[in-house]
Amino acid sequence: MRFYTEAHQHYCGIDLHARSMYLCILDGNGAILLHRNLACAPETFLAAIGPYRDGLVVGVECMFAWYWLADLCAREGIAFVLGHALYMRAIHGGKAKNDRIDAYKIAALLKGGMFPTAYVYPAAMRATRDLMRRRNHLMRKRAELLAHIQNTNSQYNLPEFGGRISRSRKQREGISERFTDAEVAKSIELDCALIDHYDALLADLEKHILACAKDHDRQSLLLLDSVPGVGSVLALILLYEIHDIARFPRVQDFLSYCRLVKCKSESAGKTYGSQGAKIGNAHLKWAFSEAAATFLRNNPPAQKLHQRLVKQHGKGKALSIIAARLGRAVYFMLKRNKVFDKEKFFNH
């Protein structure tokens, strides 16, 4: 957890919503200078903070509508801090809770140096990152359609498909004909039609994102693509979710952000298991987990390492260890601007 500890002349806490926001501005002594509910409009916001712009910092809890406010503060030269939603429990702990109280608590946390920060992703690559996340969402919907076809085939106890129906449209030709019930056949036809449509959309989308990535950071993309098991899609996910490796001072911070390590819960010398499993980046967790599985394909040294880890820790934990080792390797690759080194990875 990181806190914003810089001193300012004025502290502005905002309880932000989609159409409204409640502002609370404190001075250096903690006196309330402004407490007002406003519409979410740039001109309204700038007019409200106008008398207090000298030495002003704006803090807001991380929620879906913060993009416009962060970009506005960047254009106007106003310090902006994004609060980590899971760490900001202080604003939810009171007996009473409303927008007025929440705005004051956010401003007070800012002033007291207890405001837990989240990363303010720059606007230059943010839209492409969100587009990549949208691509992953569509791919999961495609996978659900394939799973429905497989489950329906099992429901009627029909023979297994001759090939992998996920590979190409040709492999899915005539699938509906094996079902004698007209309604079931129609359902499978619908699934296949949607999969074909998704394939066309995803191919075009991936081509577009790859072109954007080459403009944004071609060198990092080439470095990530050098890792065995990390194909073009995983490389794009890693590129846009990491963004700037310099924001992680230590490799431990990076692994924690990727959810690749567990944090102990200890008190008075006793360990009570682990906690914080959902704090971090779920997209990086998924990407490194996938990379660990594909890393083993046609890779005898990796398979040998996996077998040794399975004997020591079990199959599930063995893959988690490999994912963490890949995360460590990616961190130092990006830090040192060097491609993946197999010898160092297996001898570490």
Is the pLDDT higher at 188 or at 347? Answer: 188
Q: Which pairing describes strands 56-61 and 10-16: parallel, antiparallel, or unpaired?
A: parallel
Give the pLDDT band of residue 225 (cuts 50, 70, 90). very high
Give 24-54 pLDDT, tens digit per residue. 999 999 999 999 999 999 999 999 999 999 9
Q: How far is 141 from 155, CA to CA, in rounded Å?
A: 21
For residue 247, what is the DSSP state? G
CB neighbour list of residue 22: distance below 8 Å, 6 or more residues apart: 14, 15, 35, 36, 37, 38, 99, 100, 102, 103
**For position 36, what pLDDT does the model report?**
95
Query: Do 4 and 115 meet the contact criterion of CB atoms below 8 Å apart?
Result: yes
For residue 158, what is the DSSP state? P
Give 72-131 pLDDT, tens digit per residue. 999 999 999 999 988 887 666 778 889 999 999 999 999 999 999 999 999 999 999 999
- Percent pLDDT > 90 in the chain is 84
Alpha helices by DSSP H, listed for 226-314, are: 232-242, 251-257, 282-295, 300-313
Which residue type is seen at 87? Y
For the segment 173-191, the average pLDDT, to the nearest whole number, is 94
For the segment 293-320, the average pLDDT, to the nearest whole number, is 94
**For position 37, what pLDDT does the model report?**
97
**For position 140, what pLDDT does the model report?**
97
Q: Is the pLDDT of residue 250 over 80?
A: yes
**Buried-exposed string 273-290: b where 16+ CB fall within 10 A, e elsewhere:** eeeeeeebeebbbbbbbb
Give the pLDDT band of residue 156 (cuts 50, 70, 90). very high
The separation between the first and the last C-alpha atoms of the chain, rounded to the nearest angstrom, is 29
Give 54-72 pLDDT, tens digit per residue. 999 999 999 899 999 999 9
Residue 16 in 3-state DSSP? Answer: strand
**For position 68, what pLDDT does the model report?**
97
